[in-house]
Structure 1
C-alpha cells in the first residue's frame, strides 16, 4: 500500500499497477536557441589558455538566492597539448589521441539570468604564472559543488567533492564560505584508492534522510558501474558499493547526478555507447532517466530513449550537442524546470568542442503515459493508495485536440465508489499542471482509513503526476 501524502509520478512502478493501451514516454524538452551559452575559449580572442578542452564538463549549476546568481562549476582540461596544438579548423578527419601530461581543473562562471554567463577573473589560482583566470582549483577531477542550506558552520556553507588527480588519486572533500575561496581538500580515509572515480563525483545533502550521498563510478567486469556512499559529516564516508549498471558495453552509465522530486530520487544518467562500432551512436553519450525510492535500488525510465536528445549531425558540422550530453541537476522555477548540460559536438574519445547548454521542461513532465494507439482510449490504474485525512486530487497532464482525462475511485475489491464514478467526474479537457480533479458532488477524497485505487481513462492526452493536497 502506497502512502500518498506527497506528489506521485505515474512512471513509478510503485504507483502504477496496470495499463491498457498506454505507453510510457519521456516528456518533451525544449532546447534554448541560444545554445551554447558559453564554450571553450582557448582559441577565442582574447584567449583563455587554461580552457584547452572541456571534455565532459560535469557541470554543477544552481541558483544561489543569497547572491542572486546562477552559479556553474565545471571540470576542464587546463592542460592538453593535443587540443592546444590543433585548432578546430584543423581537426576535421583527425583522431584525438591524448598525450601524457593532461591536467584537470575546476572552473567557475556565473549568470544573473541563467542565459548570459560571465567567466570572472577570480585571482585565486595561478596558471602559467598568472592568476587572472576563473579557475577554482587545479588537479581537481569531476568535482561536484553545492550550497548546503542546513549547514550551521558558515565556513562550510558550500561543499565540494572531487577526485585529486595527484597520485594515488583519492576522493576528497573541500569547504568554502562563499563558493570562491576553498579550503585545502581533505582526502578520504583510509588513504587508498577505493574506486576509480573518473567521473562526475556527485554529492548532495539528502533533505529526506539528512545524510550526504555520493554517486560516483567504478569498473566491474570491464564496464562502468554506478557506486554509492553516504556520510554524516561529509568527511567520513561509507565504503562505496555498486547500486546500478547498464546493459553491456553499449549501455554504460558514465555519470548520474541525482535529485529528489516528490517521493522519489531521479537520476540523469549519461549513457556511454561503446558497443558495435558500426552503429551511428557508437562512442557517443545520451542522457536518459532513472529513478529510485532510496538512492540504492534504481530503475530506468524508457531505456534506449533519450530524455535530452542529442542534436543532429556529425562532427564537425553537427549541432553543438550532437555527440555527447553530460547533465547537471535541474534548476527549478515556479513554471518550469531548466536542464543545464555540457553538450559536445563529437564522439567521446575524439575531437569535440563542448559548451554549456540548457533545455526546459514543464513541471512534473519527466515522463508520462499516453495511449499507444492515439485513436483509442487508454486506461491506467494505480496501486492501492492510502492517505492521511481528506484531500483533494491534483493532476498534471497534457491534453491535445479532442482529448480528455477521466478518473474513478475504486475500493480495494475493485468496485467503483459511489460519488466517485467516471460519469460523475468533471472531465479534464485542457492541459493542466497540478490542476484540481473533482467529481460533481465530491471535491475531496475522504477515505483516509481504507485503501483505494484510482482508475484513469485517457484519450489524446498524457498523464504525468498526481498529488493529494489538503485544503
Structure 2
C-alpha cells in the first residue's frame, strides 16, 4: 500500500499542470471539520543551514544591491525544474527622491541549493557615474556600464502569480507603478511562461517597452499602504491582496492639527480586492481581510497559497507579521503566521500569535530581525523527495528599519503538513458541520456522491495524512497509543452529532510495521461489525436499505442524488493534517464534495434579548467556540453594524451599555455618560482611537425614554444612515422618537493631519481616508468577550436603565426596523454555544 501511495503522489505532484486524479482537503478546513483555536497545531518549517542566506547581497560587486530593504521573493519553476527568484526593491537609492525602484532576478539550474547566479538579463545596465537614480540604471548600454540582473524598473511591491491551470499567459504580475500610482492606482501585467537561455522570463523584454501602455490599471478611490501584493484565483475570478494603514482619529489632549510631528502609531491592515474572470483595467475597491493577530503582531503582507490537488480546499495565507510599535521585544521584527479562507474574502488567523516561520534565536543569525516569505515551490532539483516543499524568504539580521539589506534564505516543509488538528493523550473527536446541532440547513452540509464513489479507480474512503506513531493493522482502537481515524455517516437529524448509518472509515498509519511517522497519505480500513470500512459493503447496505424504504423507485447508482453526510475524526497522540480521495477515471469530482459548506454565509448575526430588560446584564465569552466556514464572530468583524434598543436612566457616573473587550486597555464600548449623552469609543493601547458623542437637544433629555442606537462600519453602499456622507468611515446614530430627535455623526477624518487646510495634498487626503477606514472589532486584537449592561463581567459601571434588544450584524436591515428578524436569519444567539440552535 505504501509503495502504491508514493507512486500515485509522485505522478500527480510532478505533472501538476494537468488534470488532477486526487482531491485533497486540509483537516483545518472548517468545511470539513469544526474545531477551536486550541485544537490547532502549526507545524513549523525547518530552516536550511539555520536560516543563513543562500543568496547574500554584494553591493561591492553589484551596486544595485545596496538597499534591498523591501525584497520579497517570487519563485518560478520552469518545466525542467530550474528556479528563478524575482525580488523588487530599490535598485538605485537616492536620498533626494525619486529613488529608482525595480525587480532583479537570481537563477539556479543546478542541484546545489547554494549555486545561484545573477544572470545578465540584457535589459538594464548600471552606470557607475550616474548621479540620480534614473542616471544610475540605464535602459540602453553605453561604454563603461555594468550588465545587471535587473528585469524591470519603476515598479515596486512586486508579486508574481503562476496560474498553472491555464496555458495562455499564465504569469500574472502585480505591482505599484512607482511614477504613476499617485495614491490611487496599482497595476498588473501578463506574460507567457517562456524563458531565455539564461533562465529569465522572456516577456520581461516586452514589458520593458510596453508596460505603461499595456499594463492593467486597477484604480481605487484611494490607497495608502500597498505592499508585497499577489493574486489568487477563486471560483474562476482573480483577486489580489494588498495593504492599508490605519491611525487614530481621536486627538490626545493638547494635540492640534496639523500634527507636527505625526506621532500617532500606524496599524497595518491586509486587504483583498476582486478583479474578475480576466485581468482588465477597471475601478476597484478593497475589503479588509485581516487586522492584527494579537496585540503584538500586525499583518505586513500576505501570500495566498493553494498547492496542486488542493484546488477545492481552503486558501492558505502566508502572512508576514510586523511587530507592533511600542512593544520593545518585538517591534519592527517580521515573521510568518498562517491564515485561512474558504471563500477568499473572509480570512482568519489559524492560531493567532503562533509562527509558521519564526525569526532566528541567535542575534547573529541572518534571519534574526526580519523575514518576508514567498510562496512555496515543489519538485525542485535540490531534493529527491517529491514531498519536500521549499519556502524561500528574504531575511535580514536587522529588524524592519532603515539600513537593513536582506538576502534570501530557505526553509523546508512537507507537502500537506502546514497545520493540523492535534490531540495528546486525551482523545479528541471532531465533526463536520451538520444541521442537527448548528443553525444551518441540510443544503449547507458536505455531500456524498454514490456515482463518483463507484467510478472505476475512485476511492470513496479517505486516505489520511497524519503524524501518528502506530501502525493500526491488525489492532483494535483500544490497543493503539497513537491514532487518527476519519469516519463517514449518513445524516439523521435525531442522531448524535447528526450521525446516521455508517458508510465507511479509515485509519491513518505510521510507516508500515514501524513507529516512524509517515509523510504519505495512508489508508487502513476501520473495522466495525467485522467489516472493513474501506470496502463498499456499507455503501451497498445503504443502497439496499434505501431501496427497501422506496419500493416504487428504481435505484440507479448513476442517478442516485448526492446526499448530506457527517464526518467524524478521532485522534489520540496525533496530528491530523488532512485527507484525500482518488477521483474516478474520467472524472474531475471526488466522492466527497465540500462546495456547499465552503460557500456558507450564515451565522454572522449576534442577537441578545434580555429576559428581563430592567436587568440586562450578560457576558458572553467567544474565546473557545468553534467557527463555521466564513463566519465572523462579533468580537472579530472586519465590517458590520451594532443596534441597541434601550431606555436610559440618569446617573452621576458613566454607565456602560455595551462593551467588547479582551483586555482592560483595548476595547469598543457604548456608554451613557453623566451628562446624558451617548458615546461610542474605541481604545487601543489604553488610548482613545476613535470616539463619537451625541447629546440630546438643548432643554431635553434621553432619560426614561426609548432610544435606538446604531453604529455602522460598512461601505457606503451598505450603510443605512448618513448615505449622503460618501466617505467610508464609521457612523454613530441616536434616535429618540419621543422627543422627535435623531442625529448621526461620522468618525472624524483628519484631512489636515499633515498640512494646513489650504495646502492639503492628494496624498494627504488618501492617507487620511485610509487612517479612518471602517474599523470594527477585528481592528482591536485579542477581544473575546461582550458584556451588555455593564463594563465587564464584574459589573463595573452598570447600566441603570433597561435594554430590550442588542444585535451585532453584517449590516443593518432595510426598512423601518434596525433589528433583523432572527427567525429568518441563521444567527449566533447569545445563550449557550455561539452556534447551537437553542433559541429562535
User: How far 1:417 moved relative to its partner?
Assistant: 4.1
Residues 444 and 220 (structure 1 numbering): CA distance in 2 closer, same or farther, change over 3 Å?
Answer: farther
Aligned match of 2:410: 358
Query: Which of residues 521, 525, 531 is equivalent to 1:438?
Result: 525
Residue 89 of structure 2 is aligned to residue 37 of structure 1? no
The 1-side partners of 2:218 and 2:91 are apart by 29
Counting strand residues as a fraction of each chain, which structure ranks higher?
A: 1
Tell me the SS of whatever aligns to 2:521.
strand
- What residue is the counterpart of 2:205 in the other structure? 181
Is the counterpart of residue 462 in structure 1 residue 582 in structure 2? Answer: no
Q: 1:284 is matched with which residue? A: 333
Structure 1 SS opposite 2:326: coil
Q: 1:237 to 1:387 in 2, by over 3 A?
A: farther
Which of residues 1, 6, 26 is equivalent to 2:42?
26
| Unaligned stretches of 5+ residues in structure 1 | 82-97
Deviations 1:59-115, CA, capped at 9 Å, x for gaps? 1102121x542121101221236xxxxxxxxxxxxxxxx764433211011112472
Number of the residue aligned with 2:73: 59
2:275 is aligned, of 227, 230, 241, to: 230
Which of 374, 382, 392 pairs up with 2:432?
382
Asked if the contact 1:70/1:114 (under 8 Å) is kept, the reply is no
* Residue 452 (str. 1) matches residue 565 (str. 2): yes
Tell which structure's C-alpha radius of gyration is larger: 2
Aligned pairs for 1:240-251 (under 5 A) are 240-247=285-292, 250-251=296-297
Q: Does 1:196 align with 2:220?
A: no
Alignment of 1:153-172 (within 5 A): 156=169, 158-169=171-182, 170-172=185-187
Match of 2:349 among 294, 300, 315: 300
TM-score (norm 2): 0.48
Contact conserved, 2:333 with 2:369, CA < 8 A, in 1?
yes
Provide the rounded CA distance (Å) in 2 between the counterparts of 1:110 and 1:193.
38
Q: Determine the structure 2 residue equivalent to 1:91.
A: none
- TM-score by length of structure 1 reads 0.82
- Is 2:79 the partner of 1:80? no
Q: Quick check: which one's helix share is greater? A: 2
Whole-angstrom distance in 2 between the partners of 1:231 and 1:109: 32
2:239 pairs with 1:216: no
CA apart distance, 1:411? 4.1
**In structure 2, what is the Cα distance between the partners aligned to 1:335 and 1:190?**
37
1:259 aligns with 2:273: no
**Alignment correspondent of 2:62:** 48
Matched residues in 1 for 2:57 and 2:221: separation?
31
Structure 2 contact 77–84 (Cα < 8 Å) conserved: yes
Distance (Å, rounded) in 2 between the aligned partners of 1:383 and 1:437: 25
Structure 1 pair 256/396, CA: closer, same or farther in 2 (3 Å)? same
Q: Note the alpha carbon deviations across 1:105-149, whole angstroms, 9 max, x for none.
A: 110111124722211011211332535000011221011124455
Report the more deviating stretch, 233-242 or 168-177.
Answer: 168-177
More relative contact order, 1 or 2 (CA 8 Å, 6+ apart): 1
Query: Is residue 399 of structure 1 aligned with residue 399 of structure 2?
Result: no
Residues 147 and 159, structure 1, Cα contact 8 Å, conserved in 2: yes
2:150 maps to what in 1?
135
Whether contact under 8 Å (1:249, 1:275) holds in the other structure is: no
- Conserved? CA contact 2:246–2:268, under 8 Å: yes
Superimposed CA distance per residue, residues 129-185 of structure 1 (whole angstroms, 9 cap, x where no aligned partner): 5350000112210111244556665xx454322112125444223344542424232
Compute the displacement of 1:400 (Å). Answer: 3.4
Q: Is the 8 A contact 1:60 1:72 kept in 2?
A: yes
* CA-CA distance at 1:426 after TM superposition: 5.6
CA distance in structure 1 between the partners assigned to 2:283 and 2:58 by the alignment: 39
Deviation at 1:267? 0.9
Summarize the Cα distance change of 1:387–1:418 in structure 2 as closer, same or farther, 3 Å threshold.
closer
Q: 1:396 to 1:106 in 2, by over 3 A?
A: same
Q: Which range is displaced more, 305-314 or 184-193? A: 184-193
Partner of 1:17 in structure 2? 34
Q: CA deviation at 1:276?
A: 2.7
Distance 1:7 1:394 in 2: 9
| Inter-partner Cα distance in structure 1 for 2:189 and 2:490 | 53
CA distance, structure 2, for counterparts of residue 72 and residue 417 of structure 1: 52
Superposition pairs of residues 302-317 of structure 1, within 5 angstroms: 302-314=351-363, 317=364
CA gap of 1:195–1:11, structure 2 versus 1, over 3 A, is same
2: CA distance between counterparts of 1:388 and 1:182?
A: 48
> Aligned to 1:136, what secondary structure does the other structure show?
strand
SS in 2 for 1:434: coil
SS class of match (1:181): helix
Aligned with 1:50: secondary structure? helix
What are the equivalent positions in structure 2 for 1:79-118 lying under 5 Å apart?
79-80=92-93, 100-112=97-109, 113=111, 115=113, 116-118=115-117
Give the C-alpha shift of residue 396 in structure 1: 0.4
Superposed CA RMSD: 3.0
